[in-house]
């Protein structure tokens, strides 16, 4: 059985930042905590965290980031650089009438959170990353990924405009069932997502016979309904983030070696595919070098990539402990 989640108290609104309309989900009053989702997700990936954080005295806001779900999707691929995304967070804090925030990100949301903390320390009281650790000079360039993991590496596969877009958008419910429902770790071991030559993306993530206990058909419906608003471009906004990896590497070169001076938290699952891409010793080194005020590095056993959905109680507890340390 999945966990029943009541989110009637979550308020929904829209706000325009940097010329892009973003959808917001919000609950609670108090110090601002921004929750940034990853790919292919939305505000809904934080459904378990809203009520506990709000009840603890925080104002919780989770945007659909630019290009995703209920938010606007700029047409130009180069409108999705990491600096655009940090700019959205920066503008959002101001649009919410706040001066500072704790910024929490999962998957792609984590690089946005880390970069916001690095580039705008005046705005960030604390930063938490789930799944993706802080990288010292921006994302890994595609040439290096191609060399390490081959032409079929999913981030390389995503580069061709329209290809993965069409596959994923053909049946959003099936795409979410496959990607969230366990296809990325079929035997429980972390592994790099690679598409063998001659296969399509979704061939590598078979549809599960049954969903894992943490994911319900209602959850799948919620994600799919929000994405379906964009029709055949349902996943294009999110894929465009990947199409800026090399551009991000160039843009972030000016900040290479910059440390994150805000208090930090890092949470990962032992079976997360990111662990197959970033070895444990490298991850520990990055955390030591980039986040000198690391509050905690939490590794959750029997947990894959969808950290806050798979382990809502443990993630929420870690966030509350971290937030309490800041107060």
Q: Are 104 and 79 in contact (CB under 8 A)?
A: no
Task: List 11's β-bridge partners, or say none.
Answer: 26
CA distance 189 to 313: 22
> Is 221 one of the catalytic residues?
no
Say which DSSP state 104 is in. Answer: E
CA distance 175 to 180: 8
> Is 12 one of the catalytic residues?
no
Q: Are 107 and 128 in contact (CB under 8 A)?
A: no
CA distance 6 to 12: 15
For the record, the structure tokens of 251 come out as 């843009």
Q: Are 53 and 82 in contact (CB under 8 A)?
A: no
Which of 130, 193, 134 lies closest to 158, judged by CA? 193
Element containing residue 309 per DSSP (H, E) = helix 307-310
Q: Please, what is the Cα angle at 118 between 116 and 120, to 5 degrees?
A: 60
For the record, the structure tokens of 133 come out as 């650790």
**168-178 per-residue burial string, b: 16 or more CB within 10 A, e: under 16:** bbeebbbbbbb
Q: Are 281 and 312 in contact (CB under 8 A)?
A: no
Show Cβ contacts of residue 58 under 8 Å, excluding neighbours closer than 6 positions.
28, 30, 31, 32, 33, 323
Q: Of the listed 64, 88, 107, 219, which one is catalytic?
A: 107
Which of 50, 51, 154 lies closest to 104, judged by CA? 50
Estimate the share of the chain in helix, then strand, then coil, as percent rounded to the nearest 5. 40, 15, 40
Which active-site residues does the annotation give?
A: 107, 305
């Amino acid at each position: 059985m999945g966990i029943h989640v009541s989110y009637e108290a979550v308020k929904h609104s829209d706000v325009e930042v940097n010329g892009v309309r973003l959808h917001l989900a919000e609950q609670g009053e108090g110090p601002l905590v921004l929750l940034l989702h990853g790919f292919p997700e939305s505000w809904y990936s934080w459904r378990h965290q809203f009520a506990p954080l709000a009840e603890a005295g925080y104002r919780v806001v989770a945007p659909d980031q630019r290009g995703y779900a209920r938010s606007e999707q700029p047409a130009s691929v180069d409108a999705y650089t990491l600096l655009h995304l940090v700019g959205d967070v920066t503008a959002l804090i101001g649009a919410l009438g706040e001066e500072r925030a704790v910024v929490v990100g999962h998957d792609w949301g984590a690089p946005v959170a880390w970069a916001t903390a690095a580039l705008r320390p005046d705005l960030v009281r604390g930063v938490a990353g789930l799944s993706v650790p802080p990288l010292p000079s921006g994302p890994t360039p595609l040439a290096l990924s191609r060399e390490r993991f081959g032409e079929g590496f999913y981030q390389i596969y995503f580069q061709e405009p329209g290809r993965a877009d069409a596959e994923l958008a053909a049946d959003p419910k099936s795409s979410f069932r496959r990607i969230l429902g366990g296809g990325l770790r079929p035997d429980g071991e972390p592994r790099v997502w690679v598409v063998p030559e001659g296969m399509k993306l979704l061939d590598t993530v078979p549809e599960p016979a049954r969903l894992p206990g943490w994911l319900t058909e209602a959850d799948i419906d919620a994600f799919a309904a929000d994405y379906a608003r964009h029709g055949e471009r349902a996943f294009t906004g999110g894929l465009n983030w990947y199409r800026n990896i090399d551009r991000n590497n160039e843009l972030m070169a000016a900040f290479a070696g910059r440390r994150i001076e805000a208090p930090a938290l890092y949470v990962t699952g032992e079976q997360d595919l990111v662990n197959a891409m970033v070895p444990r010793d490298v991850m520990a080194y990055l955390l030591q070098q980039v986040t000198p005020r690391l509050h905690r590095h939490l590794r959750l056993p029997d947990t894959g990539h969808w950290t806050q959905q798979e382990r809502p109680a443990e993630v929420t507890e870690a966030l509350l402990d971290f937030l309490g340390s800041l107060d």
